[in-house]
Amino acid sequence: MSKKSEKKVLLSGMQPSGALHLGNYEGALRNWVELQNTGDYEMFNCIVDWHALTSGFDETDKLVPRIYEMAADYIAAGLDPAKTTIFVQSHVKEHAELHLLLSMIVPIPWLERVPSYKDKTESLGLDSYGFLGYPILQTADIIIYRADVVPVGKDQLSHLELAREIVRRFHFLYGEVFPEPEALVTKFQILPGTDGKKMSKSYGNFIALGDGPDEIKKKVMSMFTDETKIHKTDRGHPDKCPVNIYRTIYDPEWTQKIADFCAAGDDSIGCVKCKKNLIRGLVDYFADFRARREELLADPAQIDNYLKDGAERARQRASETMVLVRKAIKMYKPEM
């Protein structure tokens, strides 16, 4: 057996539904780059464009630019196409075939009880068949690579549990083909947005990884800090203040000292100065990232090549899996 195939297979992915933000970086991408750099895993990273259609079916003109942006964000953040197979889901049709086959064996109530299905049907009015079947496609995305592990936040554990349940049902009916994918639980904090709520594309409270100095300045200056600290001499609550939370990550040098000043109501530093330091911190922290991102976006042919190469590698493993799947299900295959 070759050394490569002894490694555990890891599948990760995100929807290309807009520019990546600091929350996506802290909650997912930073960890993926670290996992890649351990060299312990054979990594597949999927840009899940079919999934993006569940809510974005009526804005497909944005899909292609978002895929380029996402690929540029990934690579600029340190995912290396030579080490991690980065590809677009819809380029590997085997995901769709496996989704179809799994859809025959998954009872509808398993899907209806998924918390995000209930929430989003109510809040976003999503009621399509594709939206209900989303967890089946997600399962196919994982097991088509016979993935051993999936890096997830605690909030996504229920999705993986459903994938494991589907795998068990497949094995019960047709025999063993896949590893039961395990969660590699990422320790991360939910990063607040500029308004103090969870940072999210949908809330418009995000700082994108690709934001330049002017946007960073504008967004940070408008950030919520601590509503109980009106005067410099009021005692602040730095552990709850988004500006301070960001500073511990992007401008850590003096943060603890400043947090102590803030909590004590010491008037040598106020929120405005704190924000100015954060702006400098963020601009510097992502300077190399932005340069690499711009360079990639200026050369879409380079991105095309990475994604084409990634799709070829992904397709190879996915098609091997489908041979096993069709055989297990006993699909008709004429003698050649």
Give the residue numbers marked as catalytic: 120, 198, 201
**By CB under 6 A, is residue 120 in contact with ligand ADP?**
no
Q: Is the CA virtual torsion 210, 214, 217, 220 positive or negative? A: negative
Tell me the C-alpha to C-alpha distance, in Å, between residue 254 and each of 15, 231, 244, 250, 286: 36, 21, 11, 11, 19
| Near ligand ADP by CB under 6 A: residue from 10, 13, 19, 24 | 24
Distance CA 16, CA 20 (A): 9
> In the numeric block, which tokens belong to residue 273?
């100065």
**By CB under 6 A, is residue 84 in contact with ligand ADP?**
no
Q: x/- string (CB under 6 A) for ligand ADP, residues 136-155?
A: -----------------x--
Count CB neighbours of 237 within 10 A: 15
Name the minimum Å distance from CB 2 to ligand ADP.
31
Name the minimum Å distance from CB 203 to ligand ADP.
8
**By CB under 6 A, is residue 16 in contact with ligand ADP?**
no
| Near ligand ADP by CB under 6 A: residue from 7, 30, 198, 232 | 198
The SS3 call for residue 249 is helix
| Near ligand ADP by CB under 6 A: residue from 13, 16, 27, 181 | 27
Neighbour-count burial of 74, counting CB atoms closer than 10 A to its CB (0-12 exposed, 13-18 middle, 19+ buried): buried
Q: How many CA atoms lie within 13 A of 86 on its CB side?
A: 26
Residue whose CB is less far from ligand ADP, 105 or 184: 184
Residue nearest to ligand ADP (CB): 27
The SS3 call for residue 283 is helix
**By CB under 6 A, is residue 62 in contact with ligand ADP?**
no
| Near ligand ADP by CB under 6 A: residue from 9, 11, 28, 77 | 28
Name the minimum Å distance from CB 202 to ligand ADP.
6
**By CB under 6 A, is residue 199 in contact with ligand ADP?**
yes
Distance CA 214, CA 102 (A): 48
Q: Buried b vs exposed e over 20-51: b needs ≥16 C-beta within 10 Å?
A: bbbbbbbbbbbbbbebbeeeebbbbbbbbbbb
**By CB under 6 A, is residue 23 in contact with ligand ADP?**
yes
Piece of 41-49, 71-79, 198-206, 221-229 that binds ligand ADP (CB under 6 A): 198-206
- Number of residues this chain uses to bind ligand ADP (CB under 6 A): 16
| Near ligand ADP by CB under 6 A: residue from 37, 60, 128, 202 | 202
Q: What are phi and psi of 177, to 5 degrees?
A: -130, -35
**By CB under 6 A, is residue 315 in contact with ligand ADP?**
no
Contact 130, 51 (CB under 8 A): no
**By CB under 6 A, is residue 191 in contact with ligand ADP?**
yes
**By CB under 6 A, is residue 26 in contact with ligand ADP?**
yes
Q: Which residues bind ligand ADP (CB under 6 A)?
A: 14-15, 23-24, 26-28, 153, 188, 190-191, 198-202
